[in-house]
């Protein structure tokens, strides 16, 4: 071994996590190292670049940033970075810049992967151990998942189209036509390299109309005579929101996007409008402008694009669930408006209910419809039910056409059983709590997560209070609900390996809803009832549960992290299916996940398993009769 490599071994041997490595792996690491010197201000890695190296700071200082440009970490001698991209999707997730003149050791990805796979202690240290590791993973996503954190570079679809300052107006028009663009950058190659003056100006289709055609100038007019100089530009890592504000402030429709003071593309106002059209608020607004069901059906691609956009921008599961639930509610509300326009005003007041995941604001792109009707106590079946039957059919059929599948269990307002007066619903809910049966417990899991979306929504507050008070005061009901919640267990085997489906279309896969998020929601619901939580969303219920201090210290936060991570893996899997043109579902094959994701998913399932053991101890479901 050469002297330089021996020096690297000695440097690493005295620092964690390298001190954990056996000599063979330590020497393997050291002999693979490439050394790089970076002057202060040097960009070491950019977001989205191919992740090829694991970096160790030998001397100097490095700053690591989130994708939105905020500081994530500052590293000095012995610090390391780059592992997240290597373990996830081989793309840089956190760009890095040399704060000072720095010397870096660079470990190639294959060697890092080999050491990571062959030394469990090293892997655990790099990832952060056990549930603390999952907390670290989830908190990193929380820090970097603001929907407005998308950078303008994500909107650059092609390289900038450029012309030299010697070109004519005709040249500009021809080039814009040939390339199918609405602007061209005018470059002054005589300017000093890296000088912003290198980009002399921009010519847009508006400039051609206003400065060439309207005044009647000859086509041979120099392009510099009609271009816009004194450019307003945006840096590639600035936010889309910031770019939009620049356009509004300076009344421009085109922004050159710069990277290292060189143009990498041009973003037009139309690009931002198209981008914003995939925003959930835009989709909701579009829903209420549709004149009929066919118009609503036409928005399904926009809903899918909105979902995919939020996933791409690292939105967390609660943000995505809330946005998709808001979109689902809006579909229901517009369908009810259309139904009343067709059928006339209702004969008695009513409230249309959302149940299950939509009520919890945990809805995803793969979902069915669970709904019901509460009718005024003056309801008379013979006189009024024909109206509400037709209204329910119109809404449920419309939802099915908009991508919300019919409920296979018949939990829909089209079922006469689930169209009841308010007084009847109170009796039904009280009976389910006082005299629980296997069927009523299954119904309680769905109906006790309820929200009013149309009509007399104030009725819902009273029903929620009644459910919370009666459930908290009934140990037997809680025990029965706990027993029911234990029927679905996480997919972990005896040695904590994943247990996959044995047959069927999803052989070798795990249903993340049935074996993950659903049992977590069931467990949280039981604890929520036990503490009298008025909340419906699982994350809000967990906050109420933590405040009530009924769980061992730290276990409430563990459940939040587990629910978030399982949900986001499920969400990303659905988004990946949409991107590849496949039908999205709730199943994921562990073998197709990275080792990092498998470890974190195993941590989350282990938290669920331990939480179910605690629930069994706390509520004694075996004593329920």
pLDDT tops 80 at residue 25: yes
Dist. CA 490–CA 329, nearest whole Å: 31
* pLDDT attached to residue 141: 55
| Contact between residue 383 and residue 281 where contact means Cβ atoms under 8 Å apart | no
- Residues 448, 302 share a domain: yes
pLDDT of the residue at 505: 58
Say if residue 380's pLDDT is above 80. Answer: yes
- H-run or E-run covering 299: none
Backbone angles phi, psi at 618, to 5 degrees: -75, -40
Same domain, 456 and 501: no
Q: Are residues 212 and 178 in the same domain?
A: yes
139 falls within a domain: no
The domain boundary, picked from 467, 482, 505, lies at 467
Residue 497 φ then ψ, to 5°? -85, 160
Decide if 307 contacts 578 (C-beta within 8 A): yes
In the chain, the percentage of residues whose pLDDT exceeds 70 is 89
Beta strand extents in 538-606 (DSSP E only):
587-588
Q: Which of 393, 296, 411 is nearest to 339 (CA)?
A: 393
Residue 129: per-residue pLDDT: 41
> CA 203 to CA 212: how far, in whole Å?
11
Residue 137 in any domain: the answer is no
Q: Are 145 and 312 in contact (CB under 8 A)?
A: no
- Domain count along the chain: 4
Mean of all residue pLDDT scores within the chain = 86
175-210 pLDDT tens trace: 999 998 889 999 987 655 444 457 889 999 989 999
- Domain membership flag for residue 531: yes
Looking at the structure, tell me whether residues 482 and 563 fall in a common domain: yes
Residue 257 belongs to domain spanning: 158-265
- Residues 542 and 463 reside in one and the same domain: no
Can you tell me the distance from the alpha carbon of 122 to that of 128, in angstroms, rounded to the nearest whole number?
Answer: 10
Residue 144: pLDDT band with limits 50, 70, 90: very low
Considering the domain architecture, whether residues 303 and 417 belong to the same structural domain is answered as: yes
Work out the average pLDDT over 50-76.
84
Pair 100, 178 in one domain: no
Average pLDDT over residues 358-381: 93
Predicted confidence (pLDDT) per residue in 260-295, tens digit: 778 889 998 778 766 665 567 678 878 888 999 999
User: pLDDT tens across 325-341, in order?
Assistant: 888 999 999 999 999 99
Q: How many CB atoms lie within 10 A of CB 342?
A: 11
Confidence of residue 145 (pLDDT cuts 50, 70, 90): very low
Assessment of whether the complete model's pTM goes beyond 0.75? no
Alpha-carbon span 145 to 552, nearest angstrom: 29
pLDDT at 516 over 50: yes
Within a domain: residue 132?
A: no
| Residue 302: pLDDT over 80 | yes
Radius of gyration, alpha carbons of the chain: 30
Q: Per the structure block, which two tokens stand in for 258?
A: 């710069």
* 69: pLDDT strictly greater than 80: no
Residue 143 has pLDDT above 50, yes or no: no
Closest CA to 317 of 549, 125, 521: 521
* Cα–Cα nearest to 398, from 412, 417, 408, 415: 412
For range 439-457, the mean pLDDT: 92
What percent of the chain is predicted at pLDDT more than 90? 48
* Mean pLDDT in residue range 499-506: 62
State residue 147's pLDDT score: 39
| Cβ proximity of 447 and 420 under 8 Å | no
Res 55: pLDDT: 95
Same domain, 505 and 577: yes
Of 32-36, 488-492, 588-592, 594-598, the one with minimum mean pLDDT is 594-598
DSSP letter for 196, please: G
Those residues with Cβ within 8 angstroms of residue 473's Cβ, 6 or more apart along the chain or in another chain: none
Please state, in angstroms and as integers, the Cα–Cα distance from residue 91 to each residue in 1, 47, 54, following that order: 32, 8, 12
The domain that contains 552 carries what CATH number? 1.20.120
Tokens (6 digits) for 222: 């120099």
**Is position 313 within any domain?**
yes
Q: Of 234, 134, 218, 202, which Cα lies nearest the Cα of 169?
A: 218
Which three-class secondary structure state does DSSP give residue 71? Answer: strand
Q: pLDDT tens digits for 234-250? A: 888 777 767 776 776 66
Q: Yes or no: say if 599 and 90 are a contact pair by the CB < 8 Å rule.
A: no
Smallest CA-to-CA distance from 449 within 518, 376, 377 is with: 518
Give the span between the Cα atoms of 33 and 66, in whole angstroms: 26
pLDDT (0 to 100) of residue 148: 46
Q: Let me know whether 418 and 452 are in one domain.
A: yes
> Is 223 or 133 the better-scoring residue by pLDDT?
223
pLDDT in tens, 534-565: 899 999 999 999 999 998 888 898 999 999 99
What's the pLDDT at 565? 92
How many whole angstroms separate alpha carbon 337 and alpha carbon 399?
13
* pLDDT at residue number 292: 95
Asked if residue 152 belongs to a domain, the reply is: no
Longest dimension (CA), the chain: 95
Lookup: tokens for 181: 């663009």
Residues 212 and 330 in one domain: no
**64-78, 109-123, 258-272, 593-607: which range is least confident on average?**
64-78
Residue 42 lies in a domain: yes
CA–CA separation, 213 vs 209, rounded Å?
A: 5
Which of 265, 292, 321 delimits the end of a domain? 265
Q: Is the pLDDT of residue 42 over 70?
A: yes
For CA atoms 492, 493, 496, 498, give the dihedral sign.
negative
pLDDT at 153: 83
At residue 311, does pLDDT exceed 60?
Answer: yes
Beta-strand pair 62-65/53-59: unpaired
The last residue of a domain, from among 467, 497, 513: 467
Residues 307 and 339 in one domain: yes
Over 60: is that where the pLDDT of 495 sits? no
Same domain for 322 and 463: yes
Residue 536 near residue 359, CB atoms below 8 Å: yes
User: Does residue 14 fall inside a structural domain?
Assistant: yes
Which tokens sit at 330?
């809006």
At residue 428 the predicted structure's pLDDT band, cuts being 50, 70 and 90, is very high
Q: Which CATH number goes with the domain that contains 227?
A: 3.10.580.10
């Amino acid at each position: 071994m050469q002297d330089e490599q021996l020096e690297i071994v000695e440097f690493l041997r005295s620092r964690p996590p390298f001190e954990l490595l056996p000599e063979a792996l330590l020497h393997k690491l050291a002999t693979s190292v490439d050394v790089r010197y970076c002057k202060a201000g040097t960009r070491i890695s950019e977001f989205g670049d191919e992740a090829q190296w694991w970096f160790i700071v030998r001397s100097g200082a490095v700053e690591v940033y989130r994708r939105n440009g905020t500081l994530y970490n500052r590293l000095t001698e012995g610090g390391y970075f780059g592992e997240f991209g290597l373990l996830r999707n081989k793309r840089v997730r956190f760009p890095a810049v040399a704060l000072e003149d720095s010397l870096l050791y660079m470990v190639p990805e294959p060697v890092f992967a080999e050491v990571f796979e062959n030394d469990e202690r090293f892997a655990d240290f790099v990832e952060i151990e056990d549930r603390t590791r999952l907390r670290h993973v989830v908190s990193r996503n929380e820090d970097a998942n603001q929907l407005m954190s998308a950078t303008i570079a994500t909107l650059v679809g092609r390289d900038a189209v450029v012309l030299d300052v010697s070109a004519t107006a005709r040249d500009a028009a021809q080039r814009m036509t040939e390339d199918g663009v609405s602007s061209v950058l005018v470059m002054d190659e005589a300017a000093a390299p890296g000088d912003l003056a290198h980009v002399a100006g921009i010519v847009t289709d508006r400039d051609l109309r206003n400065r060439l055609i309207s005044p009647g100038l000859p086509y041979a007019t120099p392009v510099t005579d009609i271009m816009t100089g004194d450019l307003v530009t945006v840096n590639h890592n600035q936010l889309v929101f910031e770019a939009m504000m620049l356009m509004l402030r300076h009344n421009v429709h085109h922004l050159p996007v710069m990277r290292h003071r060189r143009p990498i593309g041009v973003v037009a106002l139309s690009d931002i409008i198209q981008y914003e059209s995939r925003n959930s608020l835009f989709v909701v607004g579009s829903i209420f402008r549709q004149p009929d069901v066919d118009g609503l059906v036409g928005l399904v691609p926009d809903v899918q694009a909105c979902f995919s956009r939020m996933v791409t921008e690292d939105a967390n599961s609660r943000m995505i669930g809330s946005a998709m639930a808001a979109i689902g509610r809006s579909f229901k509300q517009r369908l009810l408006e259309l139904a009343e326009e067709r059928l006339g005003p209702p004969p008695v007041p009513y409230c249309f209910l959302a149940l299950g995941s939509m009520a919890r604001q945990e809805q995803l792109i793969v979902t069915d419809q669970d709904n019901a009707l509460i009718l005024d106590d003056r309801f008379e079946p013979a006189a009024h039910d024909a109206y509400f039957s037709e209204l329910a059919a119109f809404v449920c059929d419309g939802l099915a056409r908009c991508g919300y599948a019919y409920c296979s269990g018949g939990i829909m307002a089209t079922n006469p059983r689930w169209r009841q007066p308010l007084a009847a619903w109170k009796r039904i809910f009280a009976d389910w709590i006082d005299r629980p049966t296997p069927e009523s417990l299954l119904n309680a899991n769905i109906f006790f997560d309820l929200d009013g979306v149309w009509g007399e929504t104030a009725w819902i507050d009273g029903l929620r209070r009644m459910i919370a008070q009666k459930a908290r005061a009934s140990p037997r009901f809680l025990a029965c609900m706990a027993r029911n919640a234990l029927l679905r267990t996480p997919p972990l085997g005896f040695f904590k390996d994943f247990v996959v489906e044995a047959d069927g279309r999803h052989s070798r896969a795990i249903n993340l809803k049935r074996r993950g998020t659903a049992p977590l929601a069931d467990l949280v619901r039981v604890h929520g009832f036990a503490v009298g939580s008025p909340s419906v969303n699982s994350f809000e219920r967990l906050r109420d549960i933590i405040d009530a201090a009924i769980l061992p210290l730290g276990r409430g936060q563990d459940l939040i992290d587990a629910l978030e991570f399982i949900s986001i893996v499920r969400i990303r899997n659905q988004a990946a299916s949409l991107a590849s043109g496949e039908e999205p579902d709730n199943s994921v094959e562990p073998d197709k996940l990275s080792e990092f994701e498998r470890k974190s998913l195993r941590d989350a399932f282990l938290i669920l398993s331990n939480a179910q053991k605690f629930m069994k101890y706390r509520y004694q479901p075996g004593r329920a009769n």
